[in-house]
Structure 1
């Protein structure tokens, strides 16, 4: 118990690193022909993510992401998300990471901000609930508008064309920035940025309290051992 109190961040980081890393092993296993292992990871993470292929990264293919039209052409012409999520890739396009770009950003953010917390822990005060709310608000807005947009049909909603943004910015950016979910598009950037903000907020809010709780527990254990005349 004392060891855990002193090394809790190492334990949490190792567990989180495993959790964050497994989705990236799925495409590697598929590439190596270990399809049972790859499909098992896809199945496990399908309970935590929509796994829509047009909003996911691909490895071992020609591009890191593919449009809905490209996926439909390579697989099935459907806008049913329950069917689309079943596409994991092929030898030409590469293989899908087992969760979406936003999930990658959220949990990778948790992992790396957790590592960054360690050297800053003595100077960093816990984030207030209002501060946490402000950091997750962009994800709530972005995710909420995606959800509403998808009610019109995958690939058919206002967040697919982002015509409102093109009008607002007077089309200052290329058309590929506004439409679709490809890497580098507005939608892609928003999912990555808002996911990272969530990771930052979660670590900043929770980790100082966890550190304080484990430090108190460690001191109590030390006091008990000192009173008993024992060494740790």
Structure 2
């Protein structure tokens, strides 16, 4: 027997007409009628508020307005399809139909994730950008072993150069290379005693990566300045997105390219290329070292724009998932009540 779902609401005279037309076709196309009030769920209201009555049978769906003839053709097509599938594999088809009307644990978990994905992402971002600041706090508290777990854990994810990181509990918040040319600031070579950092491929760079600080200069945050800005700005957008009801539209990809990739590419790649010994480029692109301000600004733009581009797209897909499961839950409950 076919299962026909009629989406309706109180006071809908067209819905009553559709129900009467379905009852008139009961003899020709035996079916079980399941009425679903769309006011039971906001997702159903959003999907069908302007379209009811809506008749759904198998993969076929009719939206108002429709004629009795169109309804008859739809039931006929659904009946023929059902008979054909039953002839091919009767047991398999019945199992498939039954499974589509059951609510599984996986369904409930998927629905919960689709509702709370943004909170999950924001929590992950908060932990990811927050733990690196815990490392210098642990160092200050005399727990270098525990802090080392954080430093080591983030090591594959970030270069952790001491001259491109923030510091807590020291004389300064940062110690740039002398080439950054920031007046009035102690440079990293002076603060750490590590020399030879001009060579980007030299041993001194590894020493600078392993340098975690001391009581005088303070202790290094386990993420570099640019990465802190990237993930903190993504978290900032995530919080704004949540507080505004997820109403932002996705940033256009071209604008994302200009705001996100442009500045970080110019600052990062020009620095990277200039610090290797390419004689052909030496005159065009002299040796340069970016500053904490530029790293933070370009990292912020990249992270914020990337989140603005990605989060609304994720929300659009998650909304489809939520609507799909919400409909399935309401329909499954209605089917149970009609048995």
Please say if 1:78 is aligned against 2:78: no
After TM superposition, the structure 1 = structure 2 runs for residues 70-219 of structure 1, keeping only pairs within 5 Å, are: 70-73=187-190, 74-79=192-197, 80-136=204-260, 137-151=262-276, 158-160=287-289, 187-219=291-323
Structure that is richer in strand per residue: 2
Contact residue 75 and residue 87 of structure 1 kept, 8 A: no
Which segments of 5 or more consecutive residues in structure 2 lack a partner in the other structure?
Answer: 1-109, 179-186, 198-203, 279-285
Query: Residue by residue, what CA displacement relative to the aligned partner does 1:112-159 show, whole Å, maximum 9, x if unpaired?
Result: 111111234554211121111111211011000110222259xxx632
Q: Aligned to 1:58, what secondary structure does the other structure show? A: strand
Give the C-alpha shift of residue 67 in structure 1: 3.5
Structure number with bigger Rg = 2
In the alignment of these two chains, the number of paired residues is: 203
- Number of the residue aligned with 1:176: none
Contact residue 246 and residue 315 of structure 2 kept, 8 A: no
Change (3 A) 1:113 1:85: same
Change (3 A) 1:121 1:129: farther
Once residues 199 and 66 of structure 1 are traced to their aligned partners in structure 2, the CA distance between those partners, rounded to angstroms, is 24
Contact residue 241 and residue 247 of structure 2 kept, 8 A: no
Please say if 1:26 is aligned against 2:135: yes
> RMSD value over aligned CA atoms?
2.0
Q: Which has the higher contact order (CA 8 A, sep 6+)?
A: 1
Query: Residue by residue, what CA displacement relative to the aligned partner does 1:3-42 show, whole Å, maximum 9, x if unpaired?
Result: 2211111111111111111110110111111111111111
TM-score by length of 2: 0.56
Once residues 82 and 4 of structure 1 are traced to their aligned partners in structure 2, the CA distance between those partners, rounded to angstroms, is 41
Once residues 332 and 216 of structure 2 are traced to their aligned partners in structure 1, the CA distance between those partners, rounded to angstroms, is 67
Contact residue 161 and residue 205 of structure 2 kept, 8 A: yes
Please say if 1:16 is aligned against 2:125: yes
Q: Aligned to 1:97, what secondary structure does the other structure show? A: strand
Q: Aligned to 2:222, what secondary structure does the other structure show? A: coil
